[in-house]
């Protein structure tokens, strides 16, 4: 017995697929899902077909546990899972189709294979009930994705940008934060920021990075290169050669305060002048505008590092003054640069 459901979601296909399949994201929109229990952290993180796990769901104050298996995983287009319950075996196939760059069609096909004749006779009723539950959850997925920015503050956006650096290309990031700016601050402001030429700024960053990398590569105590720019002082930048470093998962950015050598970096008046119009996060317009300014600054820095022939032996990072988290560029180098 097969059942099909289809829904269109106003969001890019990669965002929809990740929200649909990531366990932590599922907790935000699936009212029944509690957790998936894996045999190992490797199984949890690698999404390998054949991986088996235990799913815990809660319905009407009752908790149910059943065995699941990942059959296919082809991001961001298709995933297939199989679940074994006392009634029989259930197979769910999720297909994502990009209608355009901002619209994704999700199709869910479910199949039910009953254990015995009794459940076969009940199959139509079970299938109908399950289909209605799935419809409700896909509607919840749509609502969650399309409204996820509704209550965001500037720090939510900054953290999302940190996550975007891990799995999006330069172009995808540029386009995403242009659209966020257009939505919150208007297309006029977004286009004004987009049209600012950053080529000279990139060249100045390259010059500073070259000096910083040469210094860090010859300093025995150097643990990281940290570039900081000052939103409130003409985007003034400084390269710091730091003697300490903590990876992002430690959630401790105090390492950036421990430095022995600093090197003057460039400022960038065009961004500073636009920032002064709205301030930091006074309203939606300020948040949209400033996140796009931050995005273009970080991408300019990443492009500058990409174009260097001499690479750093230590992590290369960037943030504005007092920002948390700090954005890692060198640690993410392979992920970012391979998807440009």
> Can you spell out the DSSP letters for 234-280?
TTEEEEEEES----GGG---GGGG-EEEEEE----HHHHHHHHHH-S
pLDDT of residue 335: 40
Q: Is residue 100 located within the same domain as residue 184?
A: no
Q: Is residue 267 located within the same domain as residue 300?
A: yes
pLDDT of residue 121: 45
> Do 98 and 104 touch, CB atoms closer than 8 A?
yes
Contacts of 10 (CB under 8 A, 6+ apart): 102, 103, 145, 146
Last residue in a domain, options 128, 146, 164: 146
- The helix or strand, by DSSP H or E, that contains position 146, with its residue range, turns out to be helix 123-146
Q: Is residue 136 located within the same domain as residue 178?
A: no
User: Which DSSP symbol is given to 314?
Assistant: S
pLDDT value at 26 more than 60: yes
pLDDT of residue 65: 92
Three-state secondary-structure class, residue 327: strand
| Phi/psi at 325 (5° precision) | -85, 160
Last residue in a domain, options 146, 164, 189: 146
Query: In the chain, how many domains are there?
Result: 2
Distance (Å, whole) CA 301 – CA 305: 6
Q: Is residue 107 located within the same domain as residue 248?
A: no
* E strands present in the chain: 2-9, 33-38, 52-59, 62-74, 78-84, 88-100, 103-114, 224-230, 236-242, 259-264, 316-320, 327-328
User: Percentage of residues in the chain with pLDDT exceeding 90?
Assistant: 72
Quote the mean pLDDT of the chain.
90
Q: Is residue 133 located within the same domain as residue 206?
A: no
Considering only CA atoms, which of 14, 223, 192, 217 is closest in space to residue 98?
14
Considering only CA atoms, which of 281, 320, 292 is closest in space to residue 155?
281
Q: Is residue 140 located within the same domain as residue 85?
A: yes
Q: Is residue 180 located within the same domain as residue 302?
A: yes
> Can you spell out the DSSP letters for 165-211?
HHH--HHHHHHHHHHHHHHHH-HHHHHHHHTS--HHHHHHHHHHHHH
On the CB side of 98, CA atoms within 13 Å amount to 11
Q: Is residue 15 located within the same domain as residue 134?
A: yes
Identify the CATH number of the domain in which residue 48 sits: 3.30.530.20
**Containing domain of residue 327, as a range?**
154-337
> Do 147 and 314 touch, CB atoms closer than 8 A?
no
- Residue-wise pLDDT for 97-120, tens only, equals 999 988 999 999 988 776 654 445
Last residue in a domain, options 124, 146, 168: 146
Least confident of 58-62, 129-133, 250-254: 129-133
Taken as a whole, the chain contains a residue count of: 340
Q: Is residue 209 located within the same domain as residue 121?
A: no
Contacts of 173 (CB under 8 A, 6+ apart): 161, 164, 165, 295, 299
Q: Is residue 181 located within the same domain as residue 278?
A: yes
pLDDT of residue 60: 79
End-to-end CA distance of the chain: 43
Average pLDDT over residues 23-33: 91
pLDDT value at 302 more than 80: yes
Distance (Å, whole) CA 329 – CA 337: 10
- What confidence category does residue 45 fall into, taking pLDDT thresholds of 50, 70 and 90? confident
User: Percentage of residues in the chain with pLDDT exceeding 70?
Assistant: 92
Q: Is residue 167 located within the same domain as residue 125?
A: no
Full-model pTM:
0.77
- The helix or strand, by DSSP H or E, that contains position 16, with its residue range, turns out to be helix 13-21
Q: Left if phi > 0, otherwise alpha if psi is -120 to 50, otherwise beta: which for 107?
A: beta
Q: Is residue 283 located within the same domain as residue 264?
A: yes
């Amino acid at each position: 017995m097969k059942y099909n459901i289809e829904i269109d979601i106003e969001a890019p296909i990669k965002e929809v697929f990740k929200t649909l399949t990531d366990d932590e994201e599922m907790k935000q929109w699936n009212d029944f899902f509690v957790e998936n229990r894996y045999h190992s952290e490797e199984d949890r993180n690698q999404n390998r077909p054949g991986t088996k796990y235990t799913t815990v769901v809660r319905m009407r104050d009752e908790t149910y546990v059943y065995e699941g298996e990942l059959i296919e995983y082809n991001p961001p287009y298709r995933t297939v899972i199989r679940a074994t319950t006392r009634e029989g075996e259930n197979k769910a196939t999720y297909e994502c189709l990009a209608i355009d760059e901002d619209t994704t069609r999700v199709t869910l096909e479910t199949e039910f294979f009953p254990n015995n004749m009794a459940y076969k006779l009940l199959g139509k009723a079970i299938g109908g009930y399950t289909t209605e539950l799935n419809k409700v959850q896909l509607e919840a997925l749509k609502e969650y994705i399309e409204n996820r920015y509704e209550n965001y503050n500037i720090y939510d956006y900054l953290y999302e940008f940190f996550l975007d650096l891990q799995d999006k290309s330069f172009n995808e990031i540029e386009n995403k934060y242009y659209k966020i700016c257009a939505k919150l601050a208007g297309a006029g402001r977004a286009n004004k920021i987009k049209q600012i030429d950053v080529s000279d700024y990139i060249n100045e960053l390259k010059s500073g990075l070259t000096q910083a990398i040469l210094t860090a590569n010859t300093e025995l105590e150097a643990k990281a290169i940290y570039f900081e720019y000052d939103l409130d002082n003409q985007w003034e930048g400084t390269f710091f050669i730091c003697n300490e470093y903590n990876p992002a998962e430690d959630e401790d950015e105090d390492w950036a305060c421990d430095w022995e050598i600093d090197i003057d970096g460039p400022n960038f008046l065009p961004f500073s002048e636009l920032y002064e119009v709205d301030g930091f996060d006074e309203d939606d317009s300020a948040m949209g505008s400033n996140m796009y300014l931050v995005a273009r600054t970080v991408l300019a820095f990443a492009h500058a590092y990409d174009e260097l022939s001499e690479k750093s032996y230590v992590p290369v990072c960037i943030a504005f003054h007092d920002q948390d988290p700090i954005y890692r560029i060198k640690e993410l180098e392979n992920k970012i640069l391979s998807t440009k």
